[in-house]
A and B are shown apart, each in its own frame.
Chain A
Amino acid sequence: MTSLAKLLEAALFASARPIATDELASLDPDASGAELQSALDEIREHYDVEGHGVELVEIAGGWQILTRAEYTEAIERAQLAARPARLSGAALETLAIIAYRQPISRAEIEEIRGVTVGSLLKSLHERGLIDVVGRAEGLGRPLLYGTTPLFLEHFALRHLEELPRADELAIALRAPLRETDTAAVVATADAGGNE
């Protein structure tokens, strides 16, 4: 491996969290973006071709060394590491809504799920999967929630755009109608009618 690849490998090994590309760049100021990328490719190929127990994964806007899935059972059986508990269906539903509609208020989430989500939001916030990203303008200025980098990590996503786009889902659905949207829809409908 090249010395840059070795340096990156050492840094990735030392870090418990994914390292963003610009953080990797700060390890060697002389290295260009292309050199970094080829060094990362080199590490990945090294692991894949030579058959290592770990692999280099692009995740949450960065890079991380992870163990290969085939060894998980054995590692867990030996009680060397434990898989995190699965999220409940209710938690996943709430996260899905936040991921697509962020920034979103609690009331809007409850409107979609049809149940109250107060304590669930608290738990998700405590686990670092969501965060308060602002306040809405409306009555009471409710808190608005969004997903965190840890959310991407948890679901092995490189970025939010990796989730299927709304129009790629089996049931394509328009965004919720807000007053401004309604005006826009009416305007386009009129324009269509005139043609």
Chain B
Amino acid sequence: MSASLIDAPLSSRVDTNDAFVVDVPAFSGPLDLLLSLIREEQLDIYDIPIARICEQFVLRIRTLGLNEAAEYLEMAARLLRIKAQMLLPRGDVETWDDPRAELVRRLLEYQQMREVVDVLERRGEERRNQFARAYLPQQPAPPQAPLALSLSELLSAVDRVLRTVSQPNMHEVIPRTLDIPGAILTIRSVLALRARIMWTEIVEKGAEPWQILSTLLGLLELAKLGELRVAQPKPFGNVEISRDVASEAA
């Protein structure tokens, strides 16, 4: 589980580059939760009744829905292990290592850090309430020198501009519908005479764009119908059109 940098009203949110992140505002980690349990129950941190605290911890992460967060689960597992170790016969009291010692050390360390957090929080809040001179991250572009010119200069400039704008070049667009059925008829009749023909042979030199387009679409239509095959041996090369042998046989 990861936490956000700024203190916003947190529920759950989708991190941009991370997996789904669940923020729990009340606790900043398993140690925090554990410490607050110890405080709530008014327990002695140096002599934690481990069975009780373990039970409380597991109960709490379940009610808070934290039991899927790895860090809380890990702490739960750690508590269970300590609990198990406490149940083992102790043997010699002198050499017995308290299995809780490491946990106590971590809790104390964490609590010490929380004291520093309080200091930082207070100081940060003080500073937050004072403004420094606004920080300008980028140097703005130097302002343009003011224009110094007379009215006649301005008018002649406008005149120059107006003169350079010539009459708009009007272009009349004549709609020309494509003649695909005609092209299909042509291709069919050519292929009826010759089994193989090149693209350059069926498109006349100096053909209009609508004619070329009609031929192309007609060609593709026939290819789709399976009446002919189209092959281009190399990129940008000539296109070879041939009767489809299979459809002929059928």
- Chain A residues at the B interface, C-beta cutoff of 8 Å: 13-17, 57, 59, 64-69, 72, 75, 81, 83-93, 95-97, 99-100, 111-120, 123-124, 127, 153-157, 163-164, 166, 169-173, 176
Contacts and interface: CB of A to CB of B under 8 A. Distances in A.
13 contacts: A65-B132, A81-B131, A84-B128, A90-B4, A90-B28, A92-B120, A96-B117, A97-B113, A114-B30, A114-B106, A116-B2, A163-B119, A169-B112
Given A16-B132, A72-B130, A156-B126, A113 B31 contact: yes
Contact of B5 (A64, A114, A116, A124): A124
Nearest to B34: A114
B236 interface: no
A88 B71 CA distance: 19
B115 interface: yes
Contacts of B129: 69, 72, 83
Interface of B: 1-8, 10, 15, 18, 28-31, 71, 75, 106, 108-117, 119-121, 123-136
Contacts, number: 158
Given A66-B130, A83-B128, A112 B5 contact: no
A81 to B, nearest CB: 5
Contacts of A14: 133
Given A92-B120, A163-B119, A115 B108 contact: no
Contacts of A153: 127
Task: State the main secondary structure of chain A at its contact with B.
Answer: mixed
B71 A86 contact: no
B112 A166 contact: yes
Given A67-B130, A68-B130, A118 B2 contact: yes
A170 B115 contact: yes
B124 A86 contact: yes
A72 B127 CA distance: 11
A113 B30 CA distance: 8
Contacts of A90: 3-4, 28-29
3 A-B pairs closest in CB distance: A90-B3, A156-B127, A123-B5
A176 B102 CA distance: 12
Nearest to B17: A119
Given A93-B114, A97-B113, A155 B124 contact: yes
A22 to B, nearest CB: 20
B31 A164 contact: no
Contacts of A163: 116, 119-120
B5 A169 contact: no
Nearest to A115: B29
Nearest to B137: A16
Contacts of A96: 113-114, 116-117, 120
B4 A88 contact: yes
A114 B71 contact: yes
Contacts of A176: 109
Given A66-B132, A85-B8, A96-B117, 6 more contacts: A85-B7, A86-B125, A114-B30, A154-B127, A155-B127, A156-B127
Nearest to B113: A96
Contacts of A114: 29-31, 71, 75, 106, 110
Contact of A119 (B7, B18, B123): B18
B120 A89 contact: no
B124 A93 contact: no
A86 B7 contact: yes
Nearest to A88: B7
B5 A127 contact: yes
A57 B8 CA distance: 29
